[in-house]
Chain A
Amino acid sequence: MSILQLKNISKSFGAIKALDDVSLSLNQGEVLGLMGDNGAGKSTLVKIIAGNFKPSSGNIIFEDKEVEFNKPMDARNKKIEVVYQDLALCDNLTAASNIFLTREIKKNLGFFSIINFRKMYEKSKDIFKELKSETLPDEEVRMMSGGQRQAVAIGRTKLSKAKVVLLDEPTAAISVRQVAEVLDLIKRLKDEGIAVVIISHRMPDVFAVSDQIAVLRRGNLVANKKANDSSPEEVTALITGAKDRA
Chain B
Amino acid sequence: MLKTKIKISNLHEIGLLIALIIVLTIFSLTTENFFTQRNFMSILRSASYVGLIAFPMTFVLITREIDISVGPAVAWSGVFFAILIKWYDFNYLSAGIIVLAWGLFTGYFIGIARTKLFIPTFITTLALWSALRGYSLFVTEGRPISISNKSFRSFYGGDFLNIPTVTWIMLLMFLVFWFCSRYTVMGTNIYAVGGNPKAARSIGINVDRIKIITLMITSFFSALIGILYVARVSSGNATTGEGMEFDVIAAVVVGGTALGGAVGTMTGTLMGVLFIAMISNGLIHWGVDPDLNKVVKGLIIFLAVVINSNITFKNNSGQKED
Which segment of A5-13, A83-91, A126-134 sits at the interface?
A83-91
A97 with B188: CB separation less than 8 A = yes
**Is A183 an interface residue when CB atoms closer than 8 A count as contact?**
no
Do A115 and B184 touch (CB < 8 A)?
yes
Instruction: Kindly state the interface size class of chain A when it binds its partner.
Output: 20 to 34
B2 touches A90 (CB 8 A): no
**Judging by beta carbons under 8 Å apart, are B263 and A92 in contact?**
yes
Q: A121-B2, A143-B315 in contact; A93/B198 too (CB < 8 A)?
A: no
Residue contact A101 to B184, C-beta cutoff 8 Å = no
CA distance A14 to B200 in the complex (A): 30
- B318 on interface, CB distance cutoff 8 Å: yes
* A102 close to chain B: CB less than 8 A: yes
- B316 in the interface, Cβ–Cβ < 8 Å? yes
- Give chain A residues whose Cβ lies under 8 Å from the Cβ of B205: 101-102
Interface majority SS on B: helix, strand, loop or mixed?
loop
Q: Is residue B151 within 8 Å, beta carbon to beta carbon, of the partner chain?
A: no
In this assembly, does A114 line the interface, its C-beta being within 8 Å of a C-beta of chain B? yes
Q: Which of B7, B199, B204 is in CB contact (< 8 Å) with A90?
A: B199
B194 sits at the interface (CB 8 A): yes
Q: Which of chain B's residues 284-321 have a Cβ closer than 8 Å to chain A?
A: 315-319
Interface string of A67-111 (1 = CB under 8 A from B): 000001100000000001011111111000100011010100000
Residues of chain B within 8 A (CB-CB) of A90 are: 191-192, 195-196, 199-200, 262, 318
Residues in B whose Cβ lies below 8 Å from that of A106: 185
Closest A residue to B187 by CB, please name it: A115
Q: A91-B317, A93-B188, A115-B184 are in contact. Are A102 and B202 (CB under 8 A)?
A: no
Count chain B CB atoms within 10 A of each CB in A84, A102, A106, A136 and give the residue with the most. A102
**Is residue B203 contacting chain A, with contact meaning CB distance below 8 A?**
yes
Enumerate chain B residues within 8 angstroms of A101, measured Cβ to Cβ. 188, 192, 200, 203, 205
Tell me the complex Cα distance, A128–B244, Å: 48
Q: Are B185 and A104 in contact (CB under 8 A)?
A: yes
A102/B317 in contact, CB under 8 A: no
A138 within 8 A of B: yes
Q: Which 4 A-B pairs have the closest CB atoms?
A: A91-B318, A90-B195, A88-B199, A92-B195
Interface residues of A (CB under 8 A from B): 72-73, 84, 86-93, 97, 101-102, 104, 106, 112, 114-115, 117, 121, 136-140, 142-143
